[in-house]
Amino acid sequence: MGTGDREGRAVLSDRYEAVRALTETLAEPLSAEDQTVQSMPDVSPTKWHRGHTSWFFETFLLAPADPAYERFHPRFAYIFNSYYEALGARHPRSERGLISRPGVADVTAYRRHVDEAMGELLDRPADGDRPADEDRRALVELGLHHEQQHQELLLMDIKHVLSISPLQPAYRPSIAPIKPDASTASLRSGPGWWEHEGGGAAIGHRGPGFGFDNESPRHTVHLAPFALADRTVTCGEWLAFMDDGGYQRPELWLSDGWTLVRQHGWRSPLYWSPADNGGDDVPGGDGGPGGATGGDGDWQIFTLSGPRPVDPSEPVCHVSYYEADAFAHWTGYRLPTEAEWEVAAQCRPARGGFLQLDTLHPEAAPGTPFGGVWQWTSSAYSPYPGFRTATGALGEYNGKFMVNQQVLRGGSCVTPPGHVRASYRNFFPPSARWPFAGLRLARDLEGPR
Amino acid sequence: MGTGDREGRAVLSDRYEAVRALTETLAEPLSAEDQTVQSMPDVSPTKWHRGHTSWFFETFLLAPADPAYERFHPRFAYIFNSYYEALGARHPRSERGLISRPGVADVTAYRRHVDEAMGELLDRPADGDRPADEDRRALVELGLHHEQQHQELLLMDIKHVLSISPLQPAYRPSIAPIKPDASTASLRSGPGWWEHEGGGAAIGHRGPGFGFDNESPRHTVHLAPFALADRTVTCGEWLAFMDDGGYQRPELWLSDGWTLVRQHGWRSPLYWSPADNGGDDVPGGDGGPGGATGGDGDWQIFTLSGPRPVDPSEPVCHVSYYEADAFAHWTGYRLPTEAEWEVAAQCRPARGGFLQLDTLHPEAAPGTPFGGVWQWTSSAYSPYPGFRTATGALGEYNGKFMVNQQVLRGGSCVTPPGHVRASYRNFFPPSARWPFAGLRLARDLEGPR
Amino acid sequence: MGTGDREGRAVLSDRYEAVRALTETLAEPLSAEDQTVQSMPDVSPTKWHRGHTSWFFETFLLAPADPAYERFHPRFAYIFNSYYEALGARHPRSERGLISRPGVADVTAYRRHVDEAMGELLDRPADGDRPADEDRRALVELGLHHEQQHQELLLMDIKHVLSISPLQPAYRPSIAPIKPDASTASLRSGPGWWEHEGGGAAIGHRGPGFGFDNESPRHTVHLAPFALADRTVTCGEWLAFMDDGGYQRPELWLSDGWTLVRQHGWRSPLYWSPADNGGDDVPGGDGGPGGATGGDGDWQIFTLSGPRPVDPSEPVCHVSYYEADAFAHWTGYRLPTEAEWEVAAQCRPARGGFLQLDTLHPEAAPGTPFGGVWQWTSSAYSPYPGFRTATGALGEYNGKFMVNQQVLRGGSCVTPPGHVRASYRNFFPPSARWPFAGLRLARDLEGPR
Amino acid sequence: MGTGDREGRAVLSDRYEAVRALTETLAEPLSAEDQTVQSMPDVSPTKWHRGHTSWFFETFLLAPADPAYERFHPRFAYIFNSYYEALGARHPRSERGLISRPGVADVTAYRRHVDEAMGELLDRPADGDRPADEDRRALVELGLHHEQQHQELLLMDIKHVLSISPLQPAYRPSIAPIKPDASTASLRSGPGWWEHEGGGAAIGHRGPGFGFDNESPRHTVHLAPFALADRTVTCGEWLAFMDDGGYQRPELWLSDGWTLVRQHGWRSPLYWSPADNGGDDVPGGDGGPGGATGGDGDWQIFTLSGPRPVDPSEPVCHVSYYEADAFAHWTGYRLPTEAEWEVAAQCRPARGGFLQLDTLHPEAAPGTPFGGVWQWTSSAYSPYPGFRTATGALGEYNGKFMVNQQVLRGGSCVTPPGHVRASYRNFFPPSARWPFAGLRLARDLEGPR
């Protein structure tokens, strides 16, 4: 056994501890009541996220690695399995908020139990079976990236939970102040454009670091000449869209999107409400304050630090694919494909510190394709040419969702640091509004096809 | 001001404190998570019950009595109004479990705030305006009976919440042991019968004590000769009904009931499940364990002290009106009308101690029409001749529910002591299974009509 | 065999032919398309009514009477069984309009087939087995009353079907002209009152003629002194209710009713729409034109002869129980119980010719409790004391619907002549608006209870 | 005016008459009842298709061309508008079967009215305004292709309507006999493969003939080396999939697909039912006979000539995208992308007579990518790079549906002759089973990416 191996173990151990600790830090401001509520079927309770991510390590690492491993509780496999059919029956997703027990303290004990066993496992020297050992490291890596995904979900979800309360409480105070020098002047000029001459290009994960299976295999695509906006769309621009009847003009919308607009009474992004509502009236409508019928006055926005006025200079967020597409239609531009986005991002790496989890609210991130908000693309979430799912239960991780979803690229203000890359493919149904998602415009350039 | 007045105030104060304290005692074994969950639309979270009963005193006593009274929180009127249209907008009933804040501690503080103000109010000497003073006493009395109703609801509701958890937790351990000498021998002989010769009779509240508006006015009814069973139907008798295909024979059922049987897969009372399920399988179906497909083995029942085998000698409980009616049909007897039940109960007062809140599980109560389980009657819940609703918001208390419901009589093991009487009219939709409701048989006697 | 027997047979034969012929007369104005459509789950296609009434005779008379009887088609028992569980599987009620075949011509042939066999059966001399023979006559009688019920349903249903068409077609032209001398003067004075001093009274069917099982047994009820209005409520009075915010004031409504008002946007009786809608706009809302948002102008009403202005002097029709109850609440009076109505009707027989099927639209019927519109009572549909269902499939005729319904009394302009009597109990769910139902007010009189 | 112009007009006139006449020929075997029913929301009544296609010419040609054109009926624009938001309110799609009038005869008169006016318009010499004249010809062309699409829909829809009837009637007798020499021998060997070396390729409509907007612009794609099966999957192969537990193994399915399998009880393609069902039992389940629980015996299939046994040698049909994908997963191959299909089809034109509308049931079409059944591709329906919708109402024709749908390629046995081409893009939601859709397998070839 070499030193490198020991160091490698230590590095992975440290990373394990850091990622697991961040989950607990994120849950800290939340009461037992907060951690229990499921405010809509898409949302999971905080305590479920905390349990499920532990179950992942227990199921895919601890139980297979050691026949003597004692599961924390015989029913937890039923309660904390998310969607793995190969692993047997599971508690229905839409009923996660109906379970009061296990409670928050039980979940904390569960996490400790798993962390202790994982600590031992990560400390154990390689048993000479190099491939098995590498498989195990890969699984730990996967488990950590999985947990990071749930860290973002935890924040998305708790924002929705808190937004439902008539008290409009803050997750953390003072995280999203309006920039004092916010100026709408620059908005009028529109974005700058990153141009690309088109032709063949390679997209997909190249390594050597971690990548999910859905980012592979790397392959060639052919692009027509295009340009990508150098910033995401702002709230100020979105207000102009609203003022121009954006939510009242069917000709701007995809048919399914228009159906939702009428059905749910959408008039603004999720979490927006007319500011003159004061704290005294009840924001109604669908999915929280955003459903409210707007007056013609100002708008306020619900953030993880509570409600405050809309800042026209910040990226618009919490719009569905349908809204993003209608907006693009309105501008005369369009949404980019995921391949266009990735090619543009390959040569424009993220700037340091763009993902800090300190603001928890989207800020403008000029000059980088990443950051602030996830960006809807016009690409349906499909397998790359040559894509194969893994065998066993983990084959269900990504592949079985490759229909009825759109790809989002970039990362957001609630994405954990170090989690994303140019080839990262996020995906949600086109109707989803609770992700921290906005958009970036694209346009065709003249040139040979 | 006379001594009697002061004594009267003291008595009412003591009663106020005792009733309010019981609510807190009932909530004590429950975690913050338990108090937050709403496991189905009919259920309300424990913390909501605790808040709503306080809101009742705040709204109908404190705010009208003193213009300087300071409400605990401006949004609580919205959150804790149950169904009073006259009092403005309110949080949707089916979404009470989506609110994590106010939390349990906030509700505790709210109760304290209201109790302090009520303490002062109850202490205040009559201001000479005798009618107003009596009105106020009547409202306090109403508020206390209202809170008692919610004490029973709290227990009904938390039983459903806990039953949903795959952990099948107990509310309080060891409250529902099986009687060691439970014998089914007596069951085979069937019940004894209390006979009544029929003719004119008076039913309805007579006073002088408290009665809800729906028990008035007292009036004459004409009864045909009938007999009422001297005990409620037992689990053993229900098992015989099940064994005889009770849940598979449409000819026994009301049409709407049969629709529910098929739709929800009812095969037993709510909270029953096949005992051979062990703790390892998942009781599926609708509304908890009761929906499970029964094997032909034994049955277990979920109680407020967790699961245990069915005891054939105890009253059957948690059946809907449809099931009660089908069972009666199967026996060849029938359900009593509410008038028959009341006339029989008038001369057979409850025995001391029949309602203790110590078992929290139905026990046989031979020789009294009260106790153990509520008893479905064949009477639809309708206004008595001459019934008038009160004016103002309190007119909504009972009258507006007088359609699509059946009357239940008697009281149950979770009805607070001193809450019921012979003229008491409980009511639920015929599909409701989560009340502690069973049945008592009746039959026609020969004789002049 | 006596002459009386032969004459009895001839009388029954004639009646059979007359009733069966009336069904065909009613279907005559309807195209094959009209006879196929099911415009809501409660409605059945005309061709289904024509088939089902024939199936009734085939199933309960022809097949049992003669083992050699050849059924018209092996699948018709599945298609035309309405709700008899004892007779096996049946086509789902809500999908009757999805079946294009058998078509109208097939159903006509089916009716002919059944009529021929019935002709023979009715002609056949009694075989000496007197009780069996009388049973058979009773079944024929039942079949004819059953067919009459479906004649009314056919007209109710086709009115709904035609009302759905944007063309607003007439079933028969010119059947519902406005009375030229319609005067609202008399309305302002309110109705006269038939007083009753209360006490014991007998209700229920007494014979010797036909009565449904649910009208029996005749029994004693005790009534408080009451008065019954000598006419039904008019459209003019209903307009006053609407003008006074009747559909906007929750305090007037039963809780379940108010839920429907908001859910379906009820603002007027079914089939009413604002007259200024012209023929060019689309009456929206729930269940046809009645759901339209009213302007403050005049109202038009859809009749079986197409749309025309509301006539304030005619009885209001197509209101649910909830609306009838809210209206009564608004007036300060109340709805009668079914016992009150029946006692009042016992001494006020219907005037000749009040039910003619020639108008097909409600007209005022002063001086009689019958006619014009069915009248909602405050009585839930329950079994009379001592009621027993028949054995066999026919036991399902009435008894299994005795929950969640309200009793209506009187008869309407689409009730076939000779079909009703003082003891007749019609019933519908309280939400039903497509029956020809209105209301008659009642009030308490002072006096001994 | 030149001769060419007159000839061009004559050609177009002839084509107009031929296409319009085919619609009427297809409707001929259908009764008024058949033409009225809408058996599920996706289905439209035959008379609606006949009216809507006429409305298309009225709206986009006749009304704009001649201000004096008199519309057949003022309400038909409301009734027969399908989904064009720009053209105002329209009758709800899911309620097309609730309208009995206009009836079949009214629609026939409407078609005649439109045809006469179109005859005059098509006869009218060009007015010198050449571009306008060409626009008009293009619109006529579009209207005819539109009508052809509805001819296929009419047949898809009526198959579903007839399948719902317990009588299982035939649209036309004897159109789908089993081939006497059907042999399954060839099946065991699997398909042959058309190989393609990959690299850049051009897809999309090239002209000069008609193409829909969604086929443009023609553009370059980059393909990895692949092979396409030289025939579609057969019923025999599908039976093997079923026998191997295809409908019981979640690991084969997309997550959304598996949800549908369980929700609707899918066990076979739509229109399949266990043959031992005889004619006596009722095929239940979702969307017709296909939902039935299969025994392990033989299967029968409902065709436009009624039920008959499954023929293992014919192409499998009426499967959803989810089923097609699960099947491909099971084989270890995959579905092709639409680009792969198109590139393969470019060099393999359809053989003469492959689309005849005489069989109305899929037959094997060896050696051509076209014919028999539409073929699901793995491509989501998205805009081609550079795609722009037309301005005005016709911009809604295709573009607004470009989400939540999968592309199908090829054409089927109910596609009118001359309607399809290599660049043709059909599309349906992945759950749709009532199109005549099957699948063709593809696989990756080794080689440079």
What is the pLDDT, as a whole number, of residue C412? 94
The distance between the two most distant Cα atoms of chain A, rounded to a whole number of Å, is: 70
Contact B254 C379 (CB under 8 A): no
Mean pLDDT over A44-64 rounds to 97
* Alpha carbon of C218: minimum distance to chain B alpha carbons (Å): 9
> What does the pLDDT read at residue C9?
84
pLDDT of B395 reads: 87
**Cα D279 off chain centre by:** 30
Please report which confidence band the pLDDT of residue A389 belongs to, taking 50, 70 and 90 as the band edges: confident
Which of helix, strand or coil describes residue C364?
coil
The mean of the pLDDT values for chain A is: 89
Q: Does residue C31 surpass a pLDDT of 50? A: yes
Its pTM surpasses 0.95: no
Secondary structure letter of residue C316 according to DSSP: P
**A197 close contact with D: CB closer than 8 A:** no
Instruction: In whole angstroms, give the CA distance from residue B410 to residue B407.
Output: 10
Yes or no, beta carbons of A83 and D385 under 8 Å apart: no
pLDDT at B312: 94
Write the single-letter amino acid at B212.
F
Choose the weakest-confidence range: A344-353, B143-152, D90-99. A344-353
Q: Is the pLDDT of residue A216 over 80?
A: yes
Q: Does C297 touch chain D (CB under 8 A)?
A: no
Cβ–Cβ below 8 Å for A37 and B162: no
Contact A222 D221 (CB under 8 A): yes
Residue C313: strand, helix, or coil: coil
- Residues of D with Cβ-Cβ distance to C282 under 8 angstroms: 78, 89
Q: Do B37 and A100 touch (CB under 8 A)?
A: yes
CB pair distance less than 8 Å for D382 and A383: no
Q: Give mean pLDDT, residues A164-187.
A: 73
Nearest CA in chain B to C203: B449
**pLDDT band, very low/low/confident/very high, at C396 (cuts 50, 70, 90):** confident
Interface test with D, best of C42, C104, C167 (most D CBs within 10 A): C167
Concatenate the DSSP letters of all residues of A294-311 into one string. P-SS-EEEEETTEEEE--
Chain D residues in contact with C162 by the CB 8 A cut-off are: 100-101
Residue with tokens 């993220």: A350
| Chain A residues touching D198 at Cβ < 8 A | none
Q: What is the mean pLDDT of chain C?
A: 89
Q: Which residue has the tokens 């266990």?
A: D274
Q: How far is CA B217 from the centre of its chain?
A: 22
Size of interface B-C (CB pairs under 8 A): 100
Decide if A254 touches D, using CB distance below 8 A: yes
Radius of gyration of chain C (CA): 22
In whole angstroms, give the CA distance from residue B201 to residue B194: 16
CB < 8 Å from A in window 398-427 of D: 400-404, 406
Q: Name the residue of chain A whose CA is nearest to B279's CA.
A: A75
Low-confidence spans in chain D with pLDDT less than 70 = 1-4, 175-188, 276-297, 351-357, 447-449
Across the range C321-343, mean pLDDT stands at 97
Interchain contact, B35 vs A33, CB within 8 Å: yes
pLDDT band at B35 (very low <50, low <70, confident <90, very high): very high
Note whether D268 and D298 are within 8 A (CB). no
Q: Is the pLDDT of residue B130 over 50?
A: yes
The crossing angle, in degrees rounded to 10, of helices C46-57 and C130-164 is: 170
CA distance B98 to chain A (A): 5
Mean pLDDT of C217-232: 97
CA distance C182 to A164: 56
B292 pLDDT higher than 70: no
Q: Going by beta carbons, is chain A in contact with chain C, meaning 3 or more pairs sit under 8 Å apart?
A: no
Angle made by CA atoms A200, A206, A211, in degrees to the nearest 5: 125
* Contact status of A15 with chain D (Cβ, < 8 Å): no
Of B361-370, C118-127, D130-139, D310-319, which one has max mean pLDDT? Answer: D310-319
DSSP state of D293: P
Question: Span C202-209, mean pLDDT?
Answer: 93
- The answer to whether the Cβ–Cβ distance between D34 and C279 falls below 8 Å is no
Residues of A with Cβ-Cβ distance to B166 under 8 angstroms: 75, 78-79, 91, 99
Predicted pLDDT of residue D296 = 44
Partner-chain contact D162 C89, CB within 8 Å: no
Lowest-pLDDT range, A281-285, A383-387, B107-111, B212-216? A281-285
For chain D, list the contacting chains (3+ Cβ pairs, <8 Å). Answer: A, C
Closest to C270 (Cα-Cα) out of C441, C417, C428, C407: C428
**A396 and chain D: CB distance < 8 Å anywhere?**
yes
Q: CB distance D251–A395 less than 8 Å? A: yes
**Residue B376 pairs with which residues in a beta bridge?**
B408
| Nearest CA-CA distance, residue D244 and chain A, Å | 17
Which positions 66-105 of A are in contact with B (Cβ < 8 Å)? 73-75, 78-79, 89, 91, 95, 97-104
Is the predicted pLDDT of residue C296 greater than 60, yes or no? Answer: no
- From chain D, the residues in CB contact with A250 under 8 A are 85-86
Under DSSP, the state recorded for D334 is B
Averaged pLDDT for residues A162-171: 97
How confident is the model over B309-360, as pLDDT tens digits? 999 999 999 999 999 999 999 999 999 999 999 999 998 877 544 445 678 9
* pLDDT recorded at residue D378: 98
Using the Cβ of B278 and the Cβ atoms of chain A, whether some distance falls under 8 Å is answered with: no
pLDDT mean across residues, chain B: 89
Give phi and psi for B137, each to the nearest 5: -60, -40
Distance from CA of A224 to the nearest CA of D (A): 7
What's the pLDDT score for residue C174?
Answer: 72
Mutate to test the interface with C, among D33, D75, D99 (most CBs of C within 10 A): D33
Q: Is the pLDDT of residue B282 over 60?
A: no
Residue from C93, C253, C255 to probe the interface with B (highest B Cβ count within 10 Å)? C255
Cβ-Cβ contacts under 8 Å between A and B: the total is 107
Task: Judge whether residue B138 has pLDDT over 60.
Answer: yes
Whether D and B touch (3+ CB pairs < 8 Å), yes or no: no
pLDDT for residue D275 = 85
Judged by CB atoms closer than 8 Å, whether chains meet at D32 and C31 is answered as yes
Predicted confidence band at A287 (pLDDT cuts at 50, 70, 90)? very low
**C-beta separation of B210 from B149 below 8 A:** no
**With 60 as the cut, is the pLDDT of residue B290 above it?**
no
Test D254 with A395 for CB contact under 8 angstroms.
no
Residue B383 to residue C383, Cβ atoms within 8 A: no
Closest Cα in chain D, distance from residue A327 (Å): 14
Residues of C in contact with D75 (CB under 8 A): 166-167, 279
Chain C partners of D36 at a C-beta cutoff of 8 Å?
32-33, 36-37, 100
Beta-strand pair A272-274/A226-229: unpaired
The mean per-residue pLDDT over the stretch C354-365 comes to 76
Examine the pLDDT at A242 and tell me if it is beyond 80.
yes
Give Dmax (Cα) for chain D: 70
- Partner-chain contact D101 C165, CB within 8 Å: yes
Residues A244-267 have a mean pLDDT of 97
Provide the chain D residues 16-35 that lie in CB contact (below 8 A) with chain C.
31-35
Cβ–Cβ gap C37/D98 under 8 Å: yes
**Predicted local confidence at residue D57, as pLDDT:** 98
Chain B residue whose CA is closest to C85? B250
- pLDDT level of residue B207 (50, 70, 90 thresholds): confident
Answer whether D169 touches C (CB < 8 Å): yes
pLDDT over threshold 80, residue B177: no
Higher-pLDDT residue of C175 and B243 is B243
Cα–Cα distance between A291 and C263 in angstroms, integer? 18
